[in-house]
Amino acid sequence: MTNYLHQGDLPDGLDFGDAVAIDSETAGLHPVRDRLCVIQLSAGDGDAHLVQFPRPADGAPADYSAPRLKALLADEGVEKIFHFGRFDIAVIQRDLGILVSPVFCTKIASKFVRTYTDRHGLRDLCNELLGVSISKEQQSSDWGAPELSDAQVGYAASDVLHLHKLRDVMTARLIREGRMDLARATFDYLPTRANLDLLGYEAVDIFAHS
């Protein structure tokens, strides 16, 4: 297993196959306020590729041009696997200008098939379904720093290394419980849900009567 850290874009020639696991690290936890700092990706082969978007010390905007990364995110032939994709899709759309599709969200899938619990975090899923323990120690660190620590790189990588296996387990359960079609329709709605968040409808139930 190898973690690769790239500046500003993916290198030429990388092939993630027909499904890529994706996560992001931001300067904070608000999809409108806090900028995108890192995107991490994995083909499910044990390697992780991190793309860092550093901001210059003089306060100039980060460079989000990233043509190779954008081409991958916009490729309709590649499924993007997220955990809590609603957040990641929103910040990707805001800073990279890409509407990510098609998607699979392991958090939503978990809520459809693990109705025996209210614990749907990535650490919970990895522990129960894969027997893998992951650390969340670096979750609240400074992702906007010009240089990432080895601990930050390792943490970011761990968030994508297991998503392919989780997707496979969740897909089998969704099919078993007759909820695959409903889950797929929900995944398809995620980019629209993210767009609503960016427009200020994050806490508004637009389907409510009142």
Which CATH number characterizes residue 51's domain? Answer: 3.30.420.10
Give domain status of residue 85, yes or no. yes
Domain extent for 136: 3-198
Q: What are 151-199's pLDDT values in tens digits?
A: 999 999 999 999 999 999 999 999 999 999 999 999 999 999 999 999 9
Please, what is the average pLDDT of the chain? 95
Q: Which two tokens stand for residue 157?
A: 């990588």
Give domain status of residue 116, yes or no. yes
Q: How far is CA 17 from the centre of its chain?
A: 17
Rg over alpha carbons for the chain, rounded to the nearest Å, is: 17
Give domain status of residue 206, yes or no. no
Q: The sheet that has 19-26: what strands, in order across it?
A: 3-7, 48-52, 36-42, 19-26, 79-82, 103-105
* pTM score, whole prediction: 0.95
Is 77:86 a contact under the CB 8 Å cutoff? no
Give domain status of residue 97, yes or no. yes
Give domain status of residue 103, yes or no. yes
Give domain status of residue 209, yes or no. no
pLDDT for the residue 140? 72
Q: What are 93-129's pLDDT values in tens digits?
A: 999 999 999 999 999 999 999 999 999 999 999 999 9
pLDDT for the residue 1? 81
Q: How many domains does the chain have?
A: 1
Q: How far is CA 53 from CA 18, 26, 148, in A?
A: 25, 10, 11
Give domain status of residue 205, yes or no. no
Give domain status of residue 70, yes or no. yes
Place of tokens 């767009």: 195
Split at pLDDT 50, 70, 90, the class of 210 is confident
Is 156:48 a contact under the CB 8 Å cutoff? yes
